[in-house]
Structure 1
Amino acid sequence: MNEIIITTISITGISAIFAFLLTLADRTIGNYGEIELNINDDKDYIVQGGSSLLSTLIDEKIFIPSACGGKGTCGYCKVKVLEGGGPVLPTEIPFLTEEELNNHVRLSCQCKVKDKIKIEIPEELFNVKEYFAEVEVLEDMTSVIKRVRVRLPEGEEIKFKPGQFIQLKAPLYEGNDEEVYRAYSIASAAGDKNNIELFIGYVPGGKCTTYVHKHLKVGDTVQINGPYGDFYFDDESNREVILVAAGTGIAPILSILKHMREKNINRKARFYFGAKTPDDLFLLDYFKELEEELYDFKFIPTLSRVTEEHNWTGETGRVNNAIDKYLTDSENKEAYLCGNEKMIATMVEALMDKGIPEELIYFDKFD
């Protein structure tokens, strides 16, 4: 019995010593003090060292897009690090081209602020703002997709281009011990500067999707920032518009279509939407309205897992099958795609096979 007590006391003592050493290390080795941060040669900040460049910038209300919430898995949070930042980490290499490496591009979520650092970011990121918006609508569109509509505070506006995205912050909640940001495409019309509409799919274990699907309620206040992104509709073009999406990728396509209606843009448009079964389709009545109201628009849903019981009379197979069927020529056409990496790769190949130049195929790819 005495041996058990002595062993228990010894283990407890050793654990306490390790805890003390870890705390001491965090306060000394990890304490880099105040660091000078210079941005674009004309903006200087004094920041606390030790955190990632991404989180340091967020603390200064400078928001860099990061679809993965700073985990180093999306490759979106690229900035030029001209001085400081340390060596490029192995976690960054898969997301950086040789040209980017030569031009000092880094993933800001992987780059630590340990000493004086000088960076370069697009000037438009200084126009990104943070908003505390009220949830007005939470609606189930399918078993896994929610429509979320939030309203900005009185007197505040957000100016974005159709196709761009915002970041939504998931706060602490039961089962989530860290605040994270996730990127979601805007589905609302660019002319509606007081509201933001999103379509958010549930991902089991996803910190933000669990927050939205399991915890968020109408009347709650959410924290968002934006807009971001270089995927957006070209107002200056007169080409026919090919739109392709699957699942929640419908969001930026909706924003584009709403913009076309809002601005009375007279361009032929075809929207190819990929889903598995009829249960995965939504907003069908809305698309019928658009077919009547827009200049020359057709909605073409394509289902990949239909059976006789579904009584489906529309297109079947994958979206590229519908493209092969309906896209007869490539003259004067441009395409806007949104979906996962595999879907984007397949569609880019299918459209290029039809003769559409790669430079006229714009896409927003998500995990």
Structure 2
Amino acid sequence: MYNILITVAVITGITAVLALILTWANVRIADYGECKIVINNDKELVVEGGNTLLSSLIANEVFIPSACGGKGTCGYCKCKVDSGAGPVLATELTYLSDNDIKNNVRLSCQVKVKEDMNIQIPEDLFNVKQFKGAIEIAKDITPTIKFLRIKITDGQEIDFKAGQYVQLLAPPYGDSTEEVFRAYSIASSNFEKNFIDLIIGYVDGGILTTYVHKHLSEGDKVTFNGPYGDFYLQESEGDAVLVAVGTGMAPIRSILYEMLHKKIDRNTIFFFGARTKDDLFMLDEMKIFENELPRFKFIPCLSRPREEDNWQGHVGRVNDAIFKYLEGKDDTEAYLCGSAPMIDSTVNALIDKGILENNIFYDKFD
């Protein structure tokens, strides 16, 4: 028994000494003091060293896209670091291409600020803001998709291009112990400055989708930041082809509202894919667009219609409908939003119909 007590005491003593050493090291060795971050050779920030580049930027209201809370698992927070980043870490390699590494592109959530740094970010990110809001509308529009309207309550207004997205924050709840951001396309008109609409599908086990579908109610307060993204309606007089599946409706709806508000008169066709009739939504709005936009046509496509659906419309996927109904031209532009497989197959179909690849724009999500 005496020997056991001695052993325990020795182990405890060693542990205490190691803890003191680590504490001292953290204070002394890892005390990087103040560091300068120069952005785009113009804007200069003075930050406390030792934090990640991502968190240092966010603390100074420079919002880099990030959906994983800085864990290095989404790859969204890339930026060019010309100096001061140190060697590329193993945690970054999955998300960096050889070209990224050659051009000093890094994951800002994995890079620690230990010395003065020079970085490059898109100028548009200086327009990104953080907003406080309240849920004005929360309603199920299909068995698995919820519509949210978030009224901005902090006195700010949001300026965005139809097609862009925001990052919505889920605070700690239930078994989720950390804040998590996820990206969602804005579904409302970009002429509305005091609220945004989001269309969010439920993903089993998804932290933010579970928060939205099972915990959010009308009146609840939320935080989001944005806008982000380079997917938006181009200025053109050519025909427009819009393609979406499920929640990919969101940015297309925003684009249609922009066309309606600006009275854009382009030959426009919208292919929208769903599985069954229950998965279709906002059909009344599509009728309004057809009535108000002189050359707009909406074609819903069901890939798995049930007998009780009594479906008389197109049966098959959106790329099948493209082959059947579309006549492409050299100046036709296409705007796509959906999953990677849907985007890839649709791009091939559009090219086969004669649409130029550099006239195809898309927002691809996992």
Q: TM-score by structure 1 length?
A: 0.91
Which whole-Å CA distance do the structure 2 matches of 1:330 and 1:224 have between them?
Answer: 39
Which whole-Å CA distance do the structure 2 matches of 1:280 and 1:4 have between them?
Answer: 67
Pair 15,298 (structure 1): closer, same or farther in 2 beyond 3 Å? farther
**CA displacement at 1:337 relative to structure 2:** 0.7
Bigger drift between 339-348 and 7-16 goes to 7-16
Which whole-Å CA distance do the structure 2 matches of 1:19 and 1:274 have between them?
Answer: 58
**CA displacement at 1:55 relative to structure 2:** 1.7
Runs of 4+ in structure 1 deviating by more than 4 angstroms, as ranges, are: 1-31
**CA displacement at 1:2 relative to structure 2:** 9.5
1:355 maps to which residue? 354
1:284 maps to which residue? 283
CA contact (8 A) 2:139 2:147 kept: yes
Verify: 1:275 aligned to 2:274, yes or no. Answer: yes
1:195 maps to which residue? 195
CA RMSD of aligned residues (A): 2.5
3-state SS of paired residue (1:141) = strand
2:312 maps to which residue? 313
Bigger drift between 271-280 and 98-107 goes to 98-107
Pair 5,314 (structure 1): closer, same or farther in 2 beyond 3 Å? farther
Pair 105,309 (structure 1): closer, same or farther in 2 beyond 3 Å? same
Pair 154,10 (structure 1): closer, same or farther in 2 beyond 3 Å? closer
1:263 maps to which residue? 262
Deviations, residues 83-127 of structure 1 (Å, cap 9, x unaligned): 111112344344434443322222212222222211111222112
**CA displacement at 1:139 relative to structure 2:** 0.8
Q: Sequence identity of aligned pairs in percent?
A: 57
**CA displacement at 1:164 relative to structure 2:** 0.6
**CA displacement at 1:64 relative to structure 2:** 0.9
Which whole-Å CA distance do the structure 2 matches of 1:69 and 1:243 have between them?
Answer: 32
Pair 70,248 (structure 1): closer, same or farther in 2 beyond 3 Å? farther
Which whole-Å CA distance do the structure 2 matches of 1:173 and 1:93 have between them?
Answer: 31
Which whole-Å CA distance do the structure 2 matches of 1:135 and 1:287 have between them?
Answer: 24
Summarize the alignment of residues 87-236 of structure 1 with structure 2, pairs less than 5 Å apart. 87-153=87-153, 155-234=155-234, 236=235
Pair 300,39 (structure 1): closer, same or farther in 2 beyond 3 Å? same
Bigger drift between 25-34 and 133-142 goes to 25-34
2:63 maps to which residue? 63
Pair 116,284 (structure 1): closer, same or farther in 2 beyond 3 Å? same
Equivalent position amino acid for 2:347 in 1: V
Instruction: State how many pairs are aligned.
Output: 366
**CA displacement at 1:245 relative to structure 2:** 1.0
1:241 maps to which residue? 240
Equivalent position amino acid for 2:47 in 1: V
Summarize the alignment of residues 296-307 of structure 1 with structure 2, pairs less than 5 Å apart. 296-307=295-306
Which whole-Å CA distance do the structure 1 matches of 2:30 and 2:68 have between them?
Answer: 25
Pair 113,303 (structure 1): closer, same or farther in 2 beyond 3 Å? same
Which whole-Å CA distance do the structure 1 matches of 2:236 and 2:83 have between them?
Answer: 40
3-state SS of paired residue (2:142) = coil
Which whole-Å CA distance do the structure 2 matches of 1:183 and 1:6 have between them?
Answer: 56
Deviations, residues 108-163 of structure 1 (Å, cap 9, x unaligned): 12222222211111222112111111210111111221111111137421111100
Which whole-Å CA distance do the structure 1 matches of 2:359 and 2:230 have between them?
Answer: 14
Equivalent position amino acid for 1:319 in 2: V
3-state SS of paired residue (1:290) = helix
Q: Which segments of 5 or more consecutive residues in structure 1 lack a partner in the other structure? A: none
**CA displacement at 1:260 relative to structure 2:** 0.5
Pair 293,84 (structure 1): closer, same or farther in 2 beyond 3 Å? same
Summarize the alignment of residues 9-88 of structure 1 with structure 2, pairs less than 5 Å apart. 27=27, 31-88=31-88
3-state SS of paired residue (1:286) = helix
Pair 298,14 (structure 1): closer, same or farther in 2 beyond 3 Å? farther
Equivalent position amino acid for 1:185 in 2: S
Bigger drift between 21-30 and 176-185 goes to 21-30
Equivalent position amino acid for 1:149 in 2: R
Pair 214,120 (structure 1): closer, same or farther in 2 beyond 3 Å? same
Equivalent position amino acid for 1:332 in 2: D
Deviations, residues 69-96 of structure 1 (Å, cap 9, x unaligned): 4343443322110111111234434443
Bigger drift between 17-26 and 238-247 goes to 17-26
